Amino acid sequence: MTNFLVNILGPTAIGKTSLSIKVARHFNTEIISADSRQFYKEMKIGTAVPENFELEQAPHHFIQHISVEDNYSVGDFEREAMARLEQLFESHELVVMVGGSGLYVKAVTEGLDDFPEVDPEIRPRLNRHLEEEGIDWLQQRLFALDPEYYKTADVQNPHRLIRALEICISTGKPFSTFLNKEKEKRNFKTVSIGLTADREKIYERINRRVDIMMENGLLEEAKALYPKRQLNALNTVGYKELFRYFDGEWDLETAVAEIKKNSRRFAKRQLTWFRKDENIKWFAYDDEPQKIFDYIEKEINTYK
């Protein structure tokens, strides 16, 4: 029997959670979250963790399962998600995976590139450079050490820059030399569904979501996390802007405007990543779910 992993992809605030639950209910299956921001139990409001009534509609995995203080990598997620999938495929022909974290999705569907161990002292040093000199310093350093990877990297993402730099510095070799090696074959077929809308609609949905987060208590959630602001998990949109408000750098109106702006930028990066994948079938965010169910069933039937 062939097993299938249905990926629900797309930019932030497009409606992935709602669709993934509908797909899971239609196919009587379970959901794996590949949204790396929703892994952390202390970050509920600012990462748009599904509401309790949504979680009750279908079993979810990898939602708020670790702490911001835990060291948890994309490699950890790949290993744990593959083990969970193996369990789920014993009782389900099809499993749903949902998320906007492209690298985490890729880790499950294709496997990660094989990177060497790195000196653990390098990352804290790079984080200090980021804090003191800004992202420009990381970008310039990566360009100097690995111009090939720099051409395709998401150079606005400090996590990606730091990961590449720690490999370059630890090994003395360009990060790009470790990419695109042959990976393990997966024992399931992947069906990828992308949700999208025109840019104005995506931005409108993002702005509204941020307003709702603020109404639901994001300020208080961020304040509780403020003493831990140096943790890597908290260097993320929705929290880092409010930390600057607590620092007295910005007023609250400016901080909220920055959350909206950075969320829009994040959505743009997500779309850029996903649009490189020719295997994604794109649907409008407001298409009838039945249209998507029919497409999934057609794809499954091609293997029968």
Question: According to the annotation, is 217 in a ligand binding site?
Answer: no
Question: According to the annotation, is 21 in a ligand binding site?
Answer: no
Question: According to the annotation, is 16 in a ligand binding site?
Answer: yes
- pLDDT > 70? residue 102: yes
Question: According to the annotation, is 75 in a ligand binding site?
Answer: no
Predicted TM-score (pTM) of this structure:
0.84
Q: What is the mean pLDDT of residues 136-161?
A: 92
Question: According to the annotation, is 144 in a ligand binding site?
Answer: no
Band of residue 182 on the pLDDT scale cut at 50, 70, 90? low
CB-based contacts of 123-126 (< 8 A; 24+ apart in sequence): 123/162, 123/166, 126/162, 126/165, 126/166
Integer Cα distance of 208 and 166 in angstroms: 37
Integer Cα distance of 150 and 147 in angstroms: 5
- pLDDT of 127-142, one tens digit each? 899 989 999 999 999 9
- pLDDT > 70? residue 171: yes
Question: According to the annotation, is 158 in a ligand binding site?
Answer: no
Provide the 10 A C-beta neighbour count for residue 236.
Answer: 19
Question: According to the annotation, is 106 in a ligand binding site?
Answer: no
Band of residue 103 on the pLDDT scale cut at 50, 70, 90? confident
Q: What is the mean pLDDT of residues 187-216?
A: 97
- pLDDT > 70? residue 118: yes
- pLDDT of 5-57, one tens digit each? 999 999 999 999 999 999 999 999 999 999 999 999 999 999 999 999 999 99
Identify the residue with better confidence: 139 or 118. 139
Integer Cα distance of 122 and 50 in angstroms: 35
Question: According to the annotation, is 11 in a ligand binding site?
Answer: yes
Integer Cα distance of 234 and 254 in angstroms: 19
- Nearest residue to 98 via CA among 231, 163, 25, 8: 8
Query: Which CATH class, in words, describes the domain spanning 122-178?
Result: mainly alpha
State the architecture of 4-112+183-301 in CATH terms. 3-Layer(aba) Sandwich (3.40)
For the chain, give me the number of helices (H) and strands (E)?
A: 13, 6
Q: Where are the domains of the chain?
A: 4-112+183-301, 122-178
H or E element in which residue 95 lies: strand 94-98
